[in-house]
Amino acid sequence: MSAATPARRGVADLPLSWANEAEIKRLDAALGGGSQRAAALKAFSSLPTEANLLFTGYVDLRAADLEGSTLLAPPVGISELPASELPAGAAALISISARGVGIHLGAEARAAGLTVSPLPGNTPLAGAESDRMTALIGACWNSGTEISLPKGSITAPIIIRIESPAQGEALLARIAVTLGENVSATISEEVTGRSADSGSTSGTSARALLATTSEVTLGKGAKLRLASIQELPEDVVYLPVRRHEFGASAELQIAAAQIGARLVRGRIDHQLTGNGSKVRQVEVVFAGADQLHDLTTYSLHAGEKTVGDLLAKGIFAGKARGFVKGVTTIPRSGRGTNSYLGEFGMLLSKTARSVAIPSLWIDQPDCERAAHGSSVGPIDPNQIFYLRARGLTEAEARRTIVMGYLEPVVAALPLEEEADRLREVLAAKLDAAFAAQSAAAATAA
Amino acid sequence: MTVVNPNVRDEREQYAFHDDITYLRETKAGLTEATVREISETKDEPAWMLEYRLRAFKHFEARAMPHWGGDLTKLDFSKIVYYRKPSEREEKSWDDVPDQIKKTFERLGIPEAERKFLSGVGAQYDSEVVYHSVREDLQKLGVVFMGTDQGMKEYPEIFKKYFGTVVPAEDNKFAALNSAVWSGGSFVYVPKGVDVPLPLQAYFRINGQNTGQFERTLIVVDEGASLHYIEGCTAPNWATDSLHVAVVEVIALPGSKVRYTTIQNWSNDVYNLVTKRAHAHAGATVEWIDANTGAQLTMKYPGIYLLGEKAHAEIVSVAVASKGQHQDTGAKAVHLAPNTTSRIVGKSVCKDGGVATYRGTVKVAPGATGVTTSVRCDALILDEGSRSETYPYIDIQEDDTSMSHEATVGRVSDDQIFYLMSRGMTENEATNLIVQGFLEVFTKELPMEYALEFNRLIRLEMEGALG
């Protein structure tokens, strides 16, 4: 591969020189899962990037400049981190990066029976046969961690810190979480990285790739609070895949913030198979500059009396785009379902674009509620006027309104320090977006 | 338990008959370039139209079948007869229409309707328009309402200026098919400032077995003028597939107002694959009021492109999907100019294994500032085995857009049924009433006679729903 200008790619093309059989052999030798990797590789090469015909018009992987990137070979096994790394108030720290997996379990976690171990190579990855991005991870995952809490519950959050690799490198990390019957836990995921200029550059123009799974299995009556803040540098390609399997009466509360990365293409699958299982999801997407956030949530209400309450809020500035899609499926078995899917957008610039496709697919008339709502609007000038009349400057007023719009998501984070930090990050990004906007307006004038 | 409401007569039988008619001309089943040439030759068309048809035919052949929407795998293009000519020419006087065809339409209540409350009536039988008339006073004002073939010949300037500009031949596979083999349809021109006080009505009838009906309607409403156009459709049940592929183009020039109402009640063996689109210029209002109760598969998404400032779009789309039916319907509003507004209301009912799909698009293009748009789509599922799907696409590229979208899916609530039953209704009557209320958003937009007719149709569809 020469460093010459790369050939123009189609919007759905994802050429990866390392997604091949030789690499899979190498990965099999180190981590196992050979036959499953081979099947997934086959699926990756034969599946279309977007298998759902509803969404084929909204695929754009042109920012995934990964040609010439290398698939990392992080150290196998799990190392022990010093106790000093454990953030105050946290039960455990699990750190996943190009340097391998490191952990530190606090006293509460150990007492409750939390185990963190390398993911067995033959652990099946559901969805790898039908979804191309899942298949990519299923074939080429080079990091695997299994987190299990079979009996005891933990009140303090388990921190999972995921760090993106350096420019030109690819990290594909699988994370499987299993909670036993009636177990409750809180997980706080921090997805971060260092910008290319401060990291080591390998002389390639390829971007960094971070692909992750979060394979959550909730036993009967289990309760999980999951928060995820993604603050990757704006040159990373991020492909998160989440799949949640629900036992009877299991509950998941998920709060996710997507702030960084150049390109995010994410997929969440809620498999509400257990009767009476519940999911509550709040997601915030804040994109500026040239960012593209492409997020799809599938909820399958297969069990009886399941509840799905999904809310996504997007803010798009600069030339950013957001494709926020959802499919709520209620098959015949899903009697008495209560489901809501809301997708809301706010555009802060004339060049930004917001696409919302909240779809419903319903085969069971006996439902308590099956609804979706969506709106896109600017900042209400009346609200600005109201706040200015109370002495705020225009910029403060706008910031207050946008922060208020995002607050339901921020407030859902389990650790107060995290919520505060997210508020700071959002406020900083907002100020930058407004500044860029005023600068553009000044140039235009 | 099926209770037959004495006030409801099942008159579907009335539409299910067919005539054993000898066609003056018909093409062989199947579609080739020769068929296209033959149709054009029969019609003695200008050369440019033949070229247009051939261009469209090439595109139709090259274009893949849509892989989304309904199941089209059983649609066999080679079995369809693409052109059937029932009469020599389009008549202006009802007395001149050939007897057998006249009888058909009289059984369907046309032109009785005309005498009562219409500004004009058109009737199409298989491939050709057999009758058109417009009230004399409107004719004097320059209102044109005739078959599209005739319109092409008599008003070539208007026709050539607008034909194919709203729905190009290459728009989709079925628009290409229509452009290649189109025949009949209505051509309407309303001159500047003329207000057509009563609706114009077109009536479409498929009679022959395996007939393809490809009407092409072109409506041009000039500046400041207004028009209400109504169409109705029926066909006998042949139990073999018929194909209805229409293209409707509406041009609403600045300040005009157009309402287009459809009550589609094809028999359950018809594939109804229709492209309907309007251009709304500055200050114009376009309304699609669209109901689909018939056909085995309908794929129809009436669209409005808001091209001029302050144009307004209104789409009301209702669908009832019963046994063996898939109603894949919806709406499309594309905002291309500042301060344009749109409102979409979709309502669907599915029962007895029917599938009702709402598929809609709202798009706000860069530069279309100050847009306000709202979408509301609701669905009722009456029993297990039926399916409701909702696919809204919302694509906003302007920062001061105000868009809202809401959708709900549910069943008829037991409380409501109980309430009505405690007031002496049977369960069936109660359900009927609730469904009628649910669809009222459509019914209330109709002239009263049509509203009564539509409610009767719904009651018929609902009879025995709870069995």
Query: In which element (H, E) is residue A361 found?
Result: strand A353-362
Residues in chain A: 445
Residue A181's CB: how many other CB atoms inside 10 A? Answer: 15
- Highest average pLDDT, of A411-420, B333-342, B440-449, comes from B333-342
Query: What are B119-178's pLDDT values in tens digits?
Result: 777 778 777 777 777 888 888 999 999 889 999 999 999 999 999 999 999 999 999 999
The structural domain count of chain B equals 2
Closest-CA residue to A143 (of A199, A232, A212)? A212
Identify whether B315 is part of a domain. no
Whether B27 and chain A come into contact, CB under 8 Å, resolves to no
Please indicate, yes or no, whether residues B427 and B283 belong to a single structural domain of this protein. Answer: no
Query: What are A80-133's pLDDT values in tens digits?
Result: 999 999 998 899 999 999 999 999 999 999 999 999 999 999 999 999 999 999
Whether B409 and chain A come into contact, CB under 8 Å, resolves to yes
Identify whether A362 is part of a domain. no
Rounded distance, CA A19 to CA A14, Å?
Answer: 10
Both tokens assigned to A378: 């600017």
Q: Which domain holds residue B210?
A: 12-300
Both tokens assigned to A123: 């652990």
Identify whether B341 is part of a domain. no
Identify whether A411 is part of a domain. no
Rounded distance, CA B221 to CA B194, Å?
Answer: 9
pTM recorded for the entire structure: 0.88
pLDDT confidence tier of residue B467, bands split at 50, 70 and 90: very low
Rounded distance, CA A392 to CA A380, Å?
Answer: 15
* pLDDT the model gives residue B125: 77
* pLDDT above 70 for A4: no
Domain boundary pick from B300, B335, B365: B300
* pLDDT above 70 for A1: no
Identify whether A37 is part of a domain. yes
Domain boundary pick from B245, B273, B300: B300
* pLDDT the model gives residue A5: 56
Radius of gyration of chain A (CA): 22
Q: What is the mean pLDDT of chain A?
A: 91
Rounded distance, CA B227 to CA B202, Å?
Answer: 13
Identify whether A254 is part of a domain. yes
pLDDT confidence tier of residue B116, bands split at 50, 70 and 90: low
Identify whether B112 is part of a domain. yes
Rounded distance, CA B58 to CA B41, Å?
Answer: 18
CB A227 within 8 A of CB A187: yes
**Residue labelled with tokens 């594309």:** B334
* pLDDT above 70 for B7: no
- Taking each helix axis from N to C end, the angle separating A381-389 and A394-410, rounded to the nearest 10 degrees, works out to 110
| Percent of all residues in chain B with a pLDDT value above 70, rounded to a whole number | 91
* pLDDT above 80 for B466: no
Query: What are B199-220's pLDDT values in tens digits?
Result: 888 888 777 777 888 999 999 9
Q: Contact B381/A360, CB-based, under 8 Å? A: no
Domain boundary pick from B300, B324, B349: B300
Phi, psi (degrees; rounded to nearest 5) at A120: -60, 135
Q: What is the mean pLDDT of chain B?
A: 87
Query: In which element (H, E) is residue A434 found?
Result: helix A416-444
Query: What are B213-261's pLDDT values in tens digits?
Result: 899 999 999 999 999 998 887 666 665 678 999 999 999 999 999 999 9
Please indicate, yes or no, whether residues B259 and B134 belong to a single structural domain of this protein. Answer: yes
CA distances to A193, A257, B35, B312 from B39, rounded to whole Å, are: 67, 61, 6, 38
Identify whether A121 is part of a domain. yes
Q: Which residues of A touch B402 (CB under 8 A)?
A: 375-378
Closest-CA residue to B186 (of B243, B258, B254, B115)? B258
Identify whether B285 is part of a domain. yes
Both tokens assigned to A173: 């990390």
User: Average of pLDDT values for B374-389?
Assistant: 92
Q: Which domain holds residue A97?
A: 24-271
DSSP lists the bridge partners of residue B201 as B121, B230
Rounded distance, CA A243 to CA A109, Å?
Answer: 24
Q: Contact B386/A365, CB-based, under 8 Å? A: yes
Q: Contact A332/B393, CB-based, under 8 Å? A: no
Identify whether B403 is part of a domain. no
Query: In which element (H, E) is residue B104 found?
Result: helix B99-107
Which residue does chain A place closest to B381, by CA atoms? Answer: A365
Query: What are A22-76's pLDDT values in tens digits?
Result: 999 999 999 999 999 999 999 999 999 998 888 988 999 999 999 889 999 999 9
* pLDDT the model gives residue A57: 87
Q: Contact B366/A351, CB-based, under 8 Å? A: yes
Name which of B379, B388, B406 is nearest A373 (Cβ-Cβ).
B406
Query: What are B432-447's pLDDT values in tens digits?
Result: 889 888 988 888 888 7
Whether B391 and chain A come into contact, CB under 8 Å, resolves to yes
Closest-CA residue to B319 (of B333, B334, B330)? B330
Both tokens assigned to B304: 């409005």
Which residue does chain A place closest to B414, by CA atoms? Answer: A366
Q: Contact A370/B402, CB-based, under 8 Å? A: no
What letter represents residue A413's amino acid? L
* pLDDT the model gives residue A6: 53
Comparing A144 with A434, the larger pLDDT belongs to A144
